[in-house]
């Protein structure tokens, strides 16, 4: 393998094995990023839809839960809740905004995973990996595992070289 000679398209089979190994290494983390992106978009759209259709149901459910949690606490330790009407108005605005942001983050994760699997668009693969690490992108920290794994794979020197070689050869783009 010669990192400085990209003009040699007739590389011996033994020197091409590293490229195939690098391509194999990015497949599963890329797939996980894609799945995470789809899950994030589905949850974001579902949450935004519920907040648009029935914000009262969400707020009432939460208020009832919070009141049940505070029943057995002394009065001085109970937290004062804002009026339900204010929370409903707020949720009508904030819910769709969070849904849009979550959908964008899910799409970025999906595109990053797709680019990673195809060995094309190294910056997009990095963006998808980093976005999946952000808290609030999906439920809790589900994206931590695919994000860290894909970053570890993407930062490998052989994988970086494989992205560069694939771009030079015009394999995927």
DSSP 70-122: HTTS-GGGSPPPPPHHHHHHHHHHHHHHHHHHHHHHHHHHHHHHHHHHTT--H
Report the distance separating Cα 119 and Cα 33, nearest Å: 14
pLDDT class of 155 with cuts at 50, 70, 90 = very high
Q: What is the pLDDT of residue 14?
A: 59
In 51-61, which positions are buried (b, 16+ CB within 10 angstroms) versus exposed (e)? beeebeebbee
Per-residue pLDDT tens for 68-109? 888 888 888 888 888 888 889 988 999 999 999 999 999 999
Name which of 69, 93, 72, 92 is nearest 81 in CA terms.
Answer: 69
Tell me the pLDDT of the chain averaged across its residues.
85
Band (144; pLDDT cuts 50, 70, 90): confident
DSSP string for 10-37: S--HHHHHHHHHHHHHHHHHHHHHHHHH
Confidence band, pLDDT 50/70/90 cuts, at residue 62:
confident
Residue 137: both structure tokens together: 């992108």
Q: State the pLDDT at residue 173.
A: 45
Q: What does the alpha-carbon distance between residue 23 and residue 128 come to, in Å, rounded to a whole number?
A: 17
Of 18, 30, 7, which Cα lies nearest the Cα of 119?
30
């Amino acid at each position: 393998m010669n990192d400085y000679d990209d003009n040699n398209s007739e590389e011996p089979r033994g020197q091409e094995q590293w490229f195939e190994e690098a391509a194999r290494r990015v497949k599963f983390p890329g797939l996980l990023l894609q799945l995470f992106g789809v899950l994030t978009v589905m949850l974001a759209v579902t949450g935004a839809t519920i907040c648009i259709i029935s914000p009262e149901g969400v707020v009432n459910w939460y208020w009832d839960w919070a009141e049940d949690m505070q029943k057995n606490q002394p009065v001085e330790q109970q937290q004062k809740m804002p009026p339900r009407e204010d929370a409903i108005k707020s949720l009508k605005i904030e819910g769709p905004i969070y849904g849009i942001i979550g959908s964008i983050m899910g799409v970025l994760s999906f595109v990053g995973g797709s680019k990673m699997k195809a060995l094309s668009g190294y910056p997009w693969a990095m963006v998808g990996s980093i976005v999946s690490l952000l808290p609030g992108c999906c439920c809790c920290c589900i994206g931590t595992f695919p994000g860290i794994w894909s970053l570890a794979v993407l930062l490998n020197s052989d994988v970086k070289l494989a992205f560069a070689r694939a771009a030079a050869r015009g394999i995927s783009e």
